[in-house]
Amino acid sequence: MAIPIYALVVSFRTTPSGGWHIRLLSDVVMRSVSAVVVAALIAAACTSPANDADTEVSDETSTSTTVAEIEASEASTVAAADVVDELLGSLSVEEKVGQLLMPLVFGQSATDLSDDDRENNLADFGFETPAEIIEAYHLGGVIYLAANIDSSEQVRTFSSDMQRVAAESSGIGMLIAVDQEGGRVARLEDEVTAFPAADVVGPDPERVHESSYVTGQQVQQQGINVVLAPVADVRQDGDAFIGDRSFGEDPDQVASMVVAAIDGLQQAGVAATVKHWPGHGRTSVDSHRTLPSIDTARAEWRENEAVPFEAAIDADVALVMVGHLAFPGLDTSARPATVSSELIDGLLRDEFGYDGVVITDALDMGALDDIPQAELAVQSLQAGADIMLQSLEPQQAYQGLVGAVEDGEISQEVLDEAVGRVLRLKYDLGLLQPSS
């Protein structure tokens, strides 16, 4: 099996969670080696040799180092807030709304497209090419699906060209996301390792961490900075729709694997996305087709589904994806979590203390067919979501959000809070150009 080896050239940068890590920088070189060698390289890159003098550190030195690290972290947080606040104050309503959208654009190039792709983009956006769409909608991100992907070189060029267009038009880089869980959900195939599904890689946290780290490095080489993984759903029975995408049936074990995956991805410099809040593991219903309603009491949910998500939040996961799931025991209205302020603002943010980016699952899924796309985007933002993923009608979603802000249906405060969270993530990923 061919696995990429990275030359051991290192640099330091902040992770999406605000920490520091060593990063390997090199073009990918394909070699036939075992995963053990990859693990050894990772360990070698992230471990510095110690001698007796290194190990005999006084309490005073240790304390002063800790204080210095805390002060550096606080200074970094203040700097990020200053940059984000300054940028936020300079954006129009239209530019802010664009930062909240992560649609599917058609084609495998920013400008060079087939006639069919041009027609599809024209139908959805009113513009023919991704480059034009980015400029017109001030687009904050895109998701890659199989139709966007041909080869690693094509994806690299596509990503680079879209980032260039975004930088030239707004100075704000784009979030480029892909589903790369492993197993049956893995969009990229060229120059990436085909890791097995979650329930095969687990229950070994070290193996999960290593596979996630390698995945993060490999997708980053193709210009991708958001991985829509890991799955935190606790599988409750053998018929659950989530199947082998779950790390298992034990909440604590799933939590351990989820944290290992998050750490691996984010140490590799990409943002991890834990999904599908508040838990898709107890139903056999496919939310791509219809809305699952999960009849679970709050206390039972708290002891099962909630456990891996709480662990992910403690691990500073960059994004939480909300599933299209009704939980009457948590929200008596039985509304989809996607548009439930009880489940996002109330439970996820207020009770669990999550202050990162919340992204919806794809808004073109059958579970939400009863809600018009423009209204769906508005309701999702009102409920506490920050990024609207893959709307069925992106032009209507954009116009609906802009109109709702202008009409006062969405307050400027709610809009700014959502955009601010997205911009802070982009700051962590190095996607904001410094002001002149």
Give helix then strand counts, H and E, for the chain.
15, 14
Contact of 218 with 269, CB cutoff 8 Å: no
What integer pLDDT is reported at residue 28 of this predicted model? 32
**Kind of pairing between the strands at 175-178 and 226-227:** parallel
- pTM (2 d.p.): 0.84
What integer pLDDT is reported at residue 68 of this predicted model? 64
What integer pLDDT is reported at residue 74 of this predicted model? 65
d(CA 106, CA 135): 15
Q: Which residues are catalytic?
A: 288, 361
For domain 93-428, say whether CATH 3.20.20.300 is its number: yes
What amino acid is encoded at 388 in this protein? M
What integer pLDDT is reported at residue 237 of this predicted model? 77
Cα distances from 57 to residues 50, 67, 68, in angstroms, run 12, 15, 16
What amino acid is encoded at 131 in this protein? A
H runs (alpha helix) in 289-329: 298-303, 306-314
Q: Across the 436 residues of the chain, what is the mean pLDDT of every consecutive 10-residue run? A: 34 40 33 38 38 40 56 68 94 98 98 98 98 98 98 98 97 98 98 97 97 98 98 90 96 98 98 98 95 96 98 98 98 98 98 98 97 97 98 97 98 98 98 70
What integer pLDDT is reported at residue 78 of this predicted model? 72
Q: What is the DSSP letter of 338?
A: G
Contact of 363 with 377, CB cutoff 8 Å: yes
